[in-house]
Amino acid sequence: MARKFGPRQLKREPSPGFWPIHRKEYTWAPRTRPGPHAREKSLPLVVIVRESLGLANIAKEAIRIINAGKVKVDGVVRRDRRFPVGLMDIVQIEGVPQVYRALPKPNRGLVLLPAQDREAAYKICKIVGKQNVPGGKLQYSLHDGRTLLTAAKDARPGEELAVGGAIQLSFPAQKIVKYVPFQVGALGLVIDGRNQGYYGKITSITPGTYARRKIVRIETGAEGFETPAEYVIPVGTESPLVTLEK
């Protein structure tokens, strides 16, 4: 009888292209566990410690660092070497003063970029779902698997969170610090597609239909481009709330 689940192992050659590993030097690659981010859009912790940050030469050394509780993701100690680290996640290593955030980079995909120390206390989460739940509350689904519950009666007209927007979420209280609506004039970061890693001001939003995607135009200085709305996360109004590469 055929098995009902996918393979338990992952070879290096078909692993995601943005992983900073040698495809032909060894046979096997670490396989991320099911978690807050999809395998195609995340990095396992062992790859981050060994290849991305260069804190270990072999997997055993990286696993020893992780098992010792020296790695934090979004302020929480993670001891699973296969834990997936995805978009906007903050990574802290005990003994390393620099804080890192997972962000898309042009022509490279998801990478760890240096962040300011104050940014270790929050992250930007895109709202990808919204629904009413019993008790007169609204449930918001975020891009990293989190859900937030708010009282619908407390929301004033024009202040209610909307799908497509983003929130600045604090740690460890997980409180909403600021809301960035998905609208013309906001700063948008492209997180997928051929323009991923670029950001600029949203100048127009073309409504979509059943057969056509909603399209966003982003101006990056003297140039501009169009991309699907689901590929964009708002990161601020006047200036980005997180450190981004120019």
Q: How far is residue 55's CA from residue 112's CA, in Å, rounded to a whole number?
A: 14
Cα angle 21, 27, 29 (rounded to 5 degrees) comes to 50
Rounded average pLDDT over 103-130: 92
Is residue 186's pLDDT more than 80? yes
Q: What is the pLDDT of residue 93?
A: 95
Q: What is the pLDDT of residue 154?
A: 56
The helix (run of H) or strand (run of E) holding residue 187 is strand 187-190
**Length reported for the chain:** 246
CB 243 within 8 A of CB 113: yes
Q: What is the pLDDT of residue 210?
A: 81
Render pLDDT for 33-91 as a digit per residue (tens, 0 to 9).
998 999 899 999 999 999 999 999 999 999 999 999 999 999 999 999 999 999 999 99
Is residue 135's pLDDT more than 90? no
Q: How far is residue 234's CA from residue 167's CA, in Å, rounded to a whole number?
A: 9
Band of residue 234 on the pLDDT scale cut at 50, 70, 90:
very high
Residue (of 106, 86, 90) closest to 98 by Cα position: 90
Query: Cβ contacts of residue 60 below 8 Å, gap of 6+?
Result: none
Band of residue 152 on the pLDDT scale cut at 50, 70, 90:
low
Averaged confidence pLDDT in the chain: 89
Query: Cβ contacts of residue 135 below 8 Å, gap of 6+?
Result: none
Query: Cβ contacts of residue 21 below 8 Å, gap of 6+?
Result: 12, 15, 29, 47, 51
Domain ranges within the chain, ordered by starting residue: 10-115, 121-180, 187-236
Band of residue 10 on the pLDDT scale cut at 50, 70, 90:
confident
The CATH class of 10-115 is: alpha beta
CB 47 within 8 A of CB 80: no
The reply to whether domains 10-115 and 121-180 share a CATH topology is no
Q: How far is residue 23's CA from residue 20's CA, in Å, rounded to a whole number?
A: 9
% of the chain residues with pLDDT over 90:
63
Is residue 222's pLDDT more than 80? no
Is residue 240's pLDDT more than 70? yes
Total-model pTM: 0.89
% of the chain residues with pLDDT over 70:
94
CATH topology of domain 121-180: OB fold (Dihydrolipoamide Acetyltransferase, E2P) (2.40.50)
Instruction: Quote the longest CA-to-CA distance of the chain.
Output: 59
Tokens matching residue 173: 């209280």
Is residue 6's pLDDT more than 70? no
Beta strand pairing call for 232-236 and 187-190:
antiparallel
- If you count DSSP H runs as helices and E runs as strands, how many of each does the chain have, helices first? 2, 19
- DSSP codes, 100-146: EEEEEETTTEEEEEEE-GGGGGEEEEEEEEEEEETTTEEEEEETTS-
| Residue indicated by tokens 């696993």 | 63
